[in-house]
Chain A
Amino acid sequence: MPIESHPNCIAVENVSFAYNKHSVLEDISFYVKSGEYLGIIGPNGGGKTTLVKILLGLYKPRSGTVTIFGQAIKNSGQRALIGYVPQRVSQNISTFPATVEEIVKSGRTARIGLLKRFSQNDKTAVEKAMETADVARFKTHLIGELSGGEQQRAYIARALAGEPKILVLDEPSVGVDIAAQEKFYTLIENLNKTHGLTIIFVSHDVDVIAHEVRCLLCLNKNLVYHGQPKKFIKDEYLEKLYGKKVKFILHGH
């Protein structure tokens, strides 16, 4: 079956994970359809980032399986289908002597393979990624010279350069001002609708994410909720997870 037509682009089945004896995820199962825009929320320590690392193949689940388009994440072919935008761009990025173009090109490293050089195809993909994320005009700037929002778009371009089918963003809007966040969400929406990318967006910001995503998954060690964001808000899940104050803020919008 061709990759694109596989019904579930991600299948997580009975996944559990623990750091030493400290259990973080217990018996998580869910499916993500191609073209989905999924938000993952949950309190701190609820296992969001751990789940992302399992999806990326960085952590191996203690039990259960994760498949991407029907195959395990072992080989680099499957990994190349996922573009990853990390929680915070590297701590030393403000002094790192690399241009935006070099950072975006690095998103293609694994696809090109060992001892091989950039082909015309690779260069075109890099240019296109920079255009889509609107960072092409900064391409000769050092990454540290960009604002927080621009840096994040550069890292999205980096993920896009690998021509992924799925984009995983782990708390990408931390430390970015409101105006930049708007532009950021518009870009993600566009990637989902126009480019047909499956989006997995992890955030602790329940308020914002509930208004952006079309499907919501709430984690607190167990899978608390998986479904439409509206139903989640209505059904008072928030109060159970975060206490009454959050519910108040959310309904105030």
Chain B
Amino acid sequence: MAEIFQFDFMIRAFIAGIAVAVIAPLIGLFLVVRRYSLMSDTLAHISLLGVTIGFLTNISPLLMAVLLASCSAFGMEKLRSHKKFSGDAILSLFLSGSLALAVIMISFIRGLNVNLLSFLFGSISTVSVNDLYFIVSLCLLVLATITGFYKELFLVSLDEELAAANGIKIKTFNLTLIILAAISVSLSIKIVGALLIGALMTIPVMTAIQFRCSFRETLLLSILFSLLSVVSGLFLSYYLGWASGGTIVIVALLIFLLSLVAEKIR
């Protein structure tokens, strides 16, 4: 048991994993209740483009991912507020657009960089000390923002029109939420990978919703399930030699299936 923590990279992986495990479902719940779950996948593909640009320009890939995803989040929210296009069409536009650009840019990088693959599927062994500082401080920022504006974010997610009638600045809070989502997604890609981050933001939330609790309890439960998935997923991936991202998501899925069975029995 102690053997796993003899490696610095595993300790870093656990700390980063736990930080991401807390914020992913926190943002995820707000996206799921607004039927905006696909947002995380779109942001993940945009982050991937950011990572690619980072490699090409020699600027921190993680920083580029956060910046690009946040800027795109702003663009998507602007387009959505014009009400010319539906939300899912805008997501699809950004998802395929960023992936297309990423694919072209990847071909500029000579040979297929191993590091780049690690962003696609997640690779815990590549979390550097600098990455760790970056991830933990931004996770704290996300946590503080959600806690500070919890009642406003709840109301805007419940009903935008009611929120506006109460004088809540819905544009500001929608933008806040989507930028927090962009940050969370970009930070999570080292742990679970761009292709699987959507799962970490939605599966623990879906599990928690099964228990038919209040919004606040659903939030706490989904964080609990996410932590359980990430921590046990990291252990399993270390001892079995499986890919970390895939293992974490499979554990999250198993917990979801168990909750389905538990609900049936109840």
Question: Which A residues are closer than 8 A to B by beta carbons?
Answer: 56-58, 75-76, 79-80, 82, 84, 86, 89-90, 92, 95-99, 101-103, 105-107, 109-110, 112, 114-115, 140, 142, 145, 158, 162
Q: A98 contacts B168, CB within 8 Å? A: no
CA of A84 to CA of B209, assembled, Å: 28
Q: A90 contacts B158, CB within 8 Å? A: yes
Closest to A116 in B: B151
Given the known interface contacts A79-B165, A80-B167, the answer about A92 and B35 at a Cβ–Cβ threshold of 8 Å is yes
| Chain A CB within 10 A, most for which of B152, B158, B215, B216 | B158
Q: A58 contacts B149, CB within 8 Å? A: no
* Distance (whole angstroms) from the CB of B224 to the closest CB of chain A: 15
Residues from chain B with a CB closer than 8 A to the CB of A162 are 166
A-B contact pairs, 28 of them (CB 8 A): A56-B165, A57-B167, A76-B166, A79-B165, A79-B166, A80-B166, A80-B167, A82-B165, A86-B161, A90-B159, A92-B33, A92-B34, A96-B158, A97-B29, A97-B33, A97-B209, A98-B158, A98-B214, A98-B215, A106-B155, A106-B162, A109-B151, A109-B163, A109-B166, A110-B166, A114-B149, A114-B152, A145-B212
Residues from chain A with a CB closer than 8 A to the CB of B149 are 114-115
Closest to B147 in A: A115
Residues from chain A with a CB closer than 8 A to the CB of B216 are 102
Q: Interface 1/0s, chain B 149-192, versus A by CB < 8 A?
A: 10110110011011111111000000000000000000000000
CA of A76 to CA of B163, assembled, Å: 12
CA of A155 to CA of B155, assembled, Å: 13
Residues from chain A with a CB closer than 8 A to the CB of B162 are 84, 86, 106, 158
Given the known interface contacts A79-B167, A97-B212, A162-B166, the answer about A106 and B158 at a Cβ–Cβ threshold of 8 Å is yes
CA of A140 to CA of B212, assembled, Å: 10
Closest to B163 in A: A109
B213 at the interface (CB under 8 A from A): yes
| Chain A CB within 10 A, most for which of B34, B166, B215 | B166
CA of A84 to CA of B166, assembled, Å: 8
* CB < 8 Å neighbour of B161 from A58, A95, A101, A140: A58
Given the known interface contacts A84-B162, A92-B35, A106-B158, the answer about A115 and B168 at a Cβ–Cβ threshold of 8 Å is no
Q: A103 contacts B158, CB within 8 Å? A: yes
Closest to B205 in A: A97
Given the known interface contacts A110-B167, A162-B166, the answer about A97 and B155 at a Cβ–Cβ threshold of 8 Å is no
Residues from chain A with a CB closer than 8 A to the CB of B154 are 98, 102, 106, 109
Q: A97 contacts B161, CB within 8 Å? A: no
Residues from chain A with a CB closer than 8 A to the CB of B163 are 109
Closest to A111 in B: B166
B241 at the interface (CB under 8 A from A): no
Q: B148 contacts A115, CB within 8 Å? A: yes
CB under 8 Å from chain A, chain B span 10-54: 29, 33-35
CA of A56 to CA of B168, assembled, Å: 12
Q: B212 contacts A112, CB within 8 Å? A: no
* Distance (whole angstroms) from the CB of B177 to the closest CB of chain A: 15
Q: A99 contacts B166, CB within 8 Å? A: no
CB under 8 Å from chain A, chain B span 209-250: 209, 212-216, 218
Closest to B219 in A: A97
Q: B33 contacts A109, CB within 8 Å? A: no
Extra contacts besides A86-B159, A102-B216 (18): CB < 8 Å: A58-B161, A58-B164, A76-B166, A80-B166, A84-B162, A86-B162, A92-B35, A98-B154, A102-B214, A103-B158, A106-B151, A106-B155, A106-B162, A109-B163, A109-B168, A110-B167, A142-B212, A162-B166
* CB < 8 Å neighbour of B152 from A76, A109, A142: A109
Residues from chain A with a CB closer than 8 A to the CB of B213 are 97
* Distance (whole angstroms) from the CB of B212 to the closest CB of chain A: 6
